Structure 1
Amino acid sequence: MFVFGITLAALGALFGLPETRGRLHVDLAQQGDIFLTLYAGVFFSTIIVGPIIDSFGNKTVLTTSAALVVAGLLCFLVAGSFVSALSSAFLLGFGGGGLNTAANALVADLYPQQRGAMLNLLGVFYGCGAVLIVVASKYLLPVGIALAAICTIAYLLLPFPRATEPVGFSLFASIRAARYPMVMVFAALLFCESGNESAIGSWTSTYTGSNAILAVYWAGLMVGRVLGARLLTYIRKERLIFASGVGSAIGTVMLVASKSLAGAAIVGLSFAAIYPTTLAIAADRYQRLAGTIFGLLFAVGLLGAMSFPWIIGQTSEQFGLRAGMMLPLIGAVVIIVLVFVISRQKGER
């Protein structure tokens, strides 16, 4: 997850540097296209790896995915055009998607009694990777390449649990999983949350002109996941997501209105618990095929991660970046509504 944080934060940090857009000769709309391609890679990877995890285990997915991240970063290092940047972004996203799905499914399987807390703590490492890569943006690509290479070697050497459902690979298993009750409600919530996180992570440095504000957002996300793990010992998962959705809306308004560090911090803190806690609720309900269900949820969520930055890019080119940055506010409101639906399904608000 540390390397996955690097994967998703890298392009947002790089495009905060004017020389990156100059080297690639791209405008705001094309920048949005590159973000779309990054998350398209994550999306297609996620569809494929869920059933692979259930059939063959996590080791193969983690090792191959880390190697693909190395390849994607190397390609972006030498990219000199819009087309080459698109290819690099897809490769980077494809590797990152495998890391994300496998890491979350593995932790959910290893800690069945503490899924909410452990998935939130896992997300801390995602935030750590993102913060590191934003702070060290001058050395971003060499650092990312080295860390991903180390992970590739480590995954080859470490032992892993056996596959939980060794019944053979089916590419359409994740699609069939959509028939489970309430799965698509969880997926819709993750669609909005993934979209919000990718939008803020991709466009904040461009909107504010400051990588420091982007770093504060990622730091807030990291700290918020530590707090989320602690809070789950006192409150129910659904209530934590509801409160986080309200905080997300407030923080987004502050960030867009004033380009402030405080707004970025509130957004990060509020976003933090939504994604892993939603996964924890889903894992509690659908335990037999955790990898496949997670694959479906990630895939639908990643449609949001693909579309939100792209929509912001297209909107911003026509109406200005402030108008585009209102999209995460809409996403936060929808999250509040969806978690209310999930809570009512369990007889609580």
Structure 2
Amino acid sequence: MRYNRNLVFIASCAGMLLFGIVFLSLGTVLTFVRQQYGLSELQAGSLTALLPFGILAGSIVFGPVVDRYGYKYVLIFSTFIIFLAFEGIAYAGSLLILQIAFLLIGFGGGIINGATNALVSDISSASKGANLSLLGVFYGIGAVGMPFLLGVLSNKFAYASIIAGIGIFVLLPFIFFFIVQFPVSKNKHGTSLKETGRLFSTVLLLLGFVLFFESAVEGIANNWATSFALSVVTPENSFALMALTLSNIALVISRLLLGILLVKVKPYRMLYFCWSCVLIGSLIMYFVHTVAGLYLGMALIGFGFGAGFPVILGYVGELNPGFTGTAFGVVITIALIGNTLINGLTGVVSQRFGVNYFPLVIVACVIAMMIIFAVVFQKMKLKIQAGKEIKEALT
């Protein structure tokens, strides 16, 4: 059955908007949850662990499922459990329900993030990176919109009502997913172990390790920038929050521009350009301890984050057209592991040497990405010879 590409892309953007809301949900609602339910530090800590665990679990399982059964009901299922999770957070009667809700919201978010990226890759015969960049804009809107919405509405409504209302909003894409016709499954009869094993090629794993460090730097920039600003630059919390806001706005602008530029400019060139922006921004933050330096550094870092995921996922989609979901699941899982491990390493560095060294962790990660990508790009060039259809995207 035929599908409307534009409607499918809109559905994907709606799903990515939800993931942006989900990914920022922990930080924005945790204060409310602790106050509303009188949670201890240990109990609140259990929630901070369950959300990323849920995202990781969702990222692992979505790939084989969408390759076998298609996207429609996977997106419907993940959206519905996100709705249930928000309602659970709003009206939980016990810590157990809260823990289940945070696990579910992470699990649904992990599924919807991977599935929407794989879906856009599948419906994009050309310029996968450009379309994935435009998709990423909606993650930024969701990520910025969630705290903004809570800040604006919290003066008029109770937090529980706002969170429950966001849950009701989730039902809009849920209904839309029912209406839209999606691409059919590519592997209705399943995949043999031999075919699955071939997916775990050196090229795919190396691309996964590029995202290992990309996800890490994006994570530590969001998680440690506030501590860095308050300890090294200024004790005023408002300046730190403004720096984070500038970074997120720069990311959205970057993704919008890349949605246009990646149609004309080779993806690997934009990738190196954006990584250079992250390097420069990190070095500015390390050497220039002023508010202006903080703002400029974080803006450059946010702008530089624009290319990483869209370009690398575009390559993954080009190289694995028959198993897009599974291949995306592999690299996204590696990326999430990198986010967790490097965040922990940054904590160790900050404790032993001081948080002022946090920008140098970003520098080290970017250099690692550049080296790994240089190696994998040479391997991809060799692989091009076996498939003319991907030659234009990689050379």
TM-score range, shorter chain: 0.7 to 0.9
8 Å CA contact 2:275–2:366 kept in 1: the answer is yes
Q: Which residues of 2 match residues 1-349 of structure 1 at below 5 A?
A: 1-14=16-29, 24-26=39-41, 34-77=47-90, 87-138=100-151, 139=153, 141-142=163-164, 144-168=166-190, 176=197, 178-205=199-226, 207-208=228-229, 209=237, 210-255=240-285, 257-258=289-290, 260-313=294-347, 316=350, 321-323=355-357, 326-345=360-379, 346=381
- Which one-letter code corresponds to 1:214 in the other structure? L
> Highest relative contact order (Cα 8 Å, sep 6+), 1 or 2?
1
- Which one-letter code corresponds to 1:60 in the other structure? Y
8 Å CA contact 1:242–1:340 kept in 2: the answer is no
1:69–1:253 distance in 2 versus 1, CA, 3 Å: farther
Q: Secondary structure at the match of 1:239?
A: helix
Counterpart-to-counterpart distance in 2, 1:82 and 1:311: 30
1:147–1:338 distance in 2 versus 1, CA, 3 Å: farther
1:181–1:308 distance in 2 versus 1, CA, 3 Å: closer
Counterpart-to-counterpart distance in 2, 1:174 and 1:213: 46
Counterpart-to-counterpart distance in 2, 1:325 and 1:21: 31
Mean Cα deviation higher: 81-90 or 285-294: 81-90
Q: Deviations over 1:228-256 (max 9, x none)?
A: 12222332111211221221122234446
1:49–1:194 distance in 2 versus 1, CA, 3 Å: same
8 Å CA contact 1:311–1:324 kept in 2: the answer is no
Counterpart-to-counterpart distance in 2, 1:164 and 1:175: 14
- Which one-letter code corresponds to 2:222 in the other structure? G
- Which one-letter code corresponds to 1:245 in the other structure? W
Pairs aligned (count): 344
Partner of 2:156: none
- Which one-letter code corresponds to 2:75 in the other structure? L
TM-score, normalised by the number of residues in structure 2: 0.76
User: Residue 212 of structure 1: CA displacement?
Assistant: 3.0
For structure 1, list consecutive stretches of 5 or more residues without a partner in the other structure. Answer: none
TM-score, normalised by the number of residues in structure 1: 0.85
Q: Percent identity?
A: 25
8 Å CA contact 1:69–1:145 kept in 2: the answer is yes
User: Residue 79 of structure 1: CA displacement?
Assistant: 6.8
Counterpart-to-counterpart distance in 2, 1:287 and 1:213: 39
1:137–1:316 distance in 2 versus 1, CA, 3 Å: farther
